[in-house]
Structure 1
Amino acid sequence: MFKPFIINSSCGGYFFYYVRPIIKWFLRKTTGLCELQRICYGEISGTPRIKAVEQSLAMTRSTQIKQLMEHLNDIADNKRFTGANEREILRGAVSTVLLVKKINPRTHSQFVTSFGKCVEQIWGYRQLTAEVEDLRRTAFDSDNFEHEKKTV
């Protein structure tokens, strides 16, 4: 297994902004894989892969993927990333990336699974933080039986 070559923002502003797309293009042409595929195939499962996917998505220049991320952020922030809805959202997110990046899902079924798990973790965590923040902001109300029950 190869270690993915990922260009990140710590490389410097000018270099990062202008040279990174050239390196990504070169790697896409030589490996036949986009950056997300190189991450999902080359990075170990768990936090390292999820963080690398999140960073790659955050640095995208693709308007379709930026729109997808805004949509996923909205869903997670409004706590709608749950149940059967979650499966449909994941399917749609993975399908969007497959179309934009021109990835054949039959050939790259491992990517579909790995990337789907990363999306689930990234936006599941975002929703969890939104839920915790809502709980933190809820003031104690002594007239509310549920609040009183929790103090015992």
Structure 2
Amino acid sequence: MSDTPPLEDGSRGVAVSQGVQEAREPAPITEQEVGEYREQDRFLPIANVSRIMKQSVPPTAKIAKDAKECVQECVSEFISFITSEAAEKCQMEKRKTIGGEDILYAMVTLGFENYAETLKIHLAKLRQHQASSSSNPRGDHRDDDK
């Protein structure tokens, strides 16, 4: 530790004593900075949310910034809610990886069975596509699943 007094930003400057330079210590992170980082870290990127929202409205429609932020917060919370339930199931079964079936189970358990039915179809199509991709090493696209 250095005897150099802290600077205005809370960090310690570089001290030179007998030709040896001491590294500058970073300023401590404030509670506000921690809160802002965590909030930003737990939300989906606003650009992704905005892009999805724009696909659902007519091309001439505009979406207010506060509407995008509201949906960003809601979908992020929804994903956390579903994932938490799926993770709990995996923990009970002593597994470390959450799979598509775990997400579907969580959705049904939490009362979103209408969405789960649609997602079951998408999951089956994804698996079918993955299977055909792995059996087709050149990466040629097949049109037989359209």
With structure 2 as the length reference, what TM-score do the two structures score?
0.31
Which structure shows the higher helix fraction? 1
- Greater relative contact order (Cα 8 A, min sep 6): structure 1 or 2? 1
